[in-house]
Structure 1
């Protein structure tokens, strides 16, 4: 009887159709969970299917983030990785027979180092994590920009219904020349790669806003408040609209980043 081969072949086909999806951690955490084959969403690791807001299935992912902690055990390393949009646990299995080059690459992934992660999203009892096949140190800041562009492009392509490599124009909701903060919402990414945000902006209002955010942000964990910034700078001759435009400019250029919401800012 050949009936015993039906199910494995079906599962293999499903596995082969899984796509490596560039994403942010927020996209992983906010993906919708649906049961498959009578399973319960989030109820048992592989019991449900995760779907992004644009309709793509989410299984194999790649993202860039900063290592916030790394706990090495006998058989695996558990990382906590943050990219400015969220925090996720990443587990990488360790093999004593790994080549020296693999071990060396793993040892470079220490706290506050920026890494590229490739792995599979798992969900168990409502908690999501990533089982990584690769965790490696980011070589240059260009990888951050490239990843941001790739996330935006693939998302817009899916929304436009241009999947599968078909042709078509894709108009991104985030400009291709935007700083990574436009997508990630965090300045640590740029700061960790050594970008400087202290130079004069060539505009008095930009400089005043940046100086205010630096001063007030240093005294607050959540950052400087937009409304308070406006109240402080309007008496100096700047209008509400000018100050808001300066905030947008500084954010777009990567000199400031939002923290807990869109009205709280820290300088890079």
Structure 2
């Protein structure tokens, strides 16, 4: 069972992985799952989304409009009617547009002032496509106060990805899809060792320092080999950067 985010409470609502059930009370067909629910995504997934036709955006070959993701604000551009936030999550960066209402209440203004550079935020919004360029318009943005939420989000995004590309699969199941990049066993061993080294820092708020990982495997693996392993783990959704690109935390339980 997957979960969608409730914008009002921040919690979850269960829904069935079935986009063909009709509503017997109203007589209309439900919208496809991707359009009806809020998809947890990474910035890389957002940036690689495709728009095969006007008004349609696909991730994992499924229609999607409402999305949620987490990241850190790297830049803020204040315009007349809206703010543009550059948000980065370790897999990439994307601009998020947040419109400012003329009738903004004092509470809304106070909430907006908490969105500062280097602040980790949760973004709930909508994907738009114009001239084959995907953009994000935020319905809401709020600071993250519990950093476990970052880990939970990445795990949720990974699990949701597999439910769409392989219904019934799990993040631990063997996979042969396009996300898998197989190589020699020695390469896989390096990745496993680096992944475990990152996971050893689960109790640290900042995560593992990459320099510490280099030192740990000095004489065993070259710096280039470790960097390649880290790049693979990040692209595969197994880890993410925290306070800066040189600190990593594992997404694996």
Which residue matches 2:98? Answer: 92
Task: Choose 97-106 or 148-157, whichever is displaced more.
Answer: 97-106
Tell me, in whole angstroms, the C-alpha distance in 1 between the residues paired with 2:52 and 2:227: 43
User: Across the two proteins, how many residue pairs are aligned to each other?
Assistant: 189
* Greater percentage in strand: 2
Tell me, in whole angstroms, the C-alpha distance in 2 between the residues paired with 1:136 and 1:255: 20
Tell me, in whole angstroms, the C-alpha distance in 2 between the residues paired with 1:32 and 1:253: 24
Tell me, in whole angstroms, the C-alpha distance in 1 between the residues paired with 2:143 and 2:136: 17
Query: TM-score normalised to the size of structure 1?
Result: 0.56
Q: Is the 8 A contact 1:67 1:81 kept in 2?
A: yes
CA RMSD of aligned residues (A): 4.5
Change (3 A) 1:227 1:87: closer
Q: Are 2:120 and 1:110 aligned?
A: no
Q: Are 2:87 and 1:81 aligned?
A: yes
Pick from 59, 65, 68: which aligns with 1:52? 59
Which runs of no fewer than 5 residues in structure 1 stay unpaired?
A: 1-11, 36-46, 162-168, 176-180, 183-189, 217-223, 230-243, 260-264
Change (3 A) 1:227 1:150: closer
Which residue matches 2:217? Answer: 209
Which residue matches 2:170? Answer: 171
Q: Is the 8 A contact 2:96 2:138 kept in 1?
A: yes
Tell me, in whole angstroms, the C-alpha distance in 1 between the residues paired with 2:241 and 2:38: 31
Q: Are 2:38 and 1:34 aligned?
A: no
Pick from 186, 195, 202: which aligns with 2:206? 195
Q: Are 2:156 and 1:145 aligned?
A: no
Tell me, in whole angstroms, the C-alpha distance in 2 between the residues paired with 1:267 and 1:97: 41
Q: Is the 8 A contact 1:79 1:91 kept in 2?
A: yes
Tell me, in whole angstroms, the C-alpha distance in 1 between the residues paired with 2:49 and 2:98: 22
CA displacement, residues 129-170 of structure 1 (integer Å, 9 cap, x when unaligned): 101100111111111011112112222222333xxxxxxx54
Change (3 A) 1:156 1:228: closer
Which residue matches 2:125? Answer: 119
Tell me, in whole angstroms, the C-alpha distance in 2 between the residues paired with 1:102 and 1:82: 24
* Greater percentage in helix: 1
Structure number with larger C-alpha Rg: 1
Tell me, in whole angstroms, the C-alpha distance in 2 between the residues paired with 1:156 and 1:106: 35
Q: Is the 8 A contact 2:62 2:164 kept in 1?
A: yes
Tell me, in whole angstroms, the C-alpha distance in 2 between the residues paired with 1:108 and 1:130: 20
Q: Is the 8 A contact 1:60 1:120 kept in 2?
A: yes
Pick from 43, 49, 52: which aligns with 1:25? 43
